[in-house]
Amino acid sequence: MTTLHRNLETDGKDWKATEQEYFDKVTSKNDLIIGFEILTHYYTANSTEIILVNVYKTWEDIEKSEAITDDLVKKAWPDEKARTAFFDKQKSYYDTFHSDEIYSSIETIGMKEFKATSKEPMIVYIRKSQLSMTGKGKGMKEYNEKVTLKDPYIQGYYPFRHAWGSDSRDFMEAVFYNSFSDIEKSNLKRDELEKAAWPKEADSKAFFDQLKLVFTGVHGDFIYHNLPSASK
């Protein structure tokens, strides 16, 4: 995940067309990039955020992918002057500051994969939590099986954790919804599914007391739009 920031000194009118051109000519043709999203601010603390998400099967594929990308770039813009002009324009839309993090997916606790077909931007809710790292607590897999993966409003669910970055406690969950209103509907459905899964109050308390021990209690909520035409 690369977090970029809009350069507010440019009008950005050709930003989408520029990123779409790069996606069509490079990212979409690189088979080692098995997933890709461009996420833009919707409800976050920083309205300049633009997050590029590249998904790879293995760590080694990250490095291998760079060589393929370089080759695709040269084929897409064989003229050096035209190539330089394109990338100068692309860079102009962003501030010089950015950050990079690498995460590993956690399929063992449940994942809901999907292929987006909508031409309208989807809502991407990211919950960033801190793992307690104490070895205590359990229940994420059971919770996802009984609640998250049964929620019809959740189109996609992807849990992942720190592999390379500033905080080894990072645990992230990316949830795809068709609309912002579906988040509220999902919350109501989640309450319904939780009561069905743990109908007895004592059992419910025991389960969630254990689940809470997995985390420190600190978390952040971030809501983005994706760019469907540049989704892989």
Q: Could you give the CA distance from residue 232 to residue 229 in angstroms, rounded to a whole number?
A: 9
pLDDT tens for each residue of 33-81 = 999 999 999 999 999 999 999 999 999 999 999 999 999 999 999 999 9
Q: The pTM is what?
A: 0.93
Structure confidence by residue, pLDDT tens digits, 143-195: 999 999 999 999 999 999 999 988 999 999 999 999 999 999 999 999 999 99
The pair phi, psi for residue 227, each rounded to 5°, is -115, 95
* Contact present, 22 and 38 (Cβ < 8 Å): no
CA–CA distance, 138 with 214 (Å, rounded to integer)? 6
| Residue 48 DSSP one-character state | T
Distance CA 158, CA 156 (A): 7
Residue 116 pLDDT > 80, yes or no?
A: no
Give the chain's length.
232
CB–CB of 182/123 below 8 Å? yes
Say which residues have a Cβ less than 8 Å from residue 9's Cβ, sequence separation at least 6: none
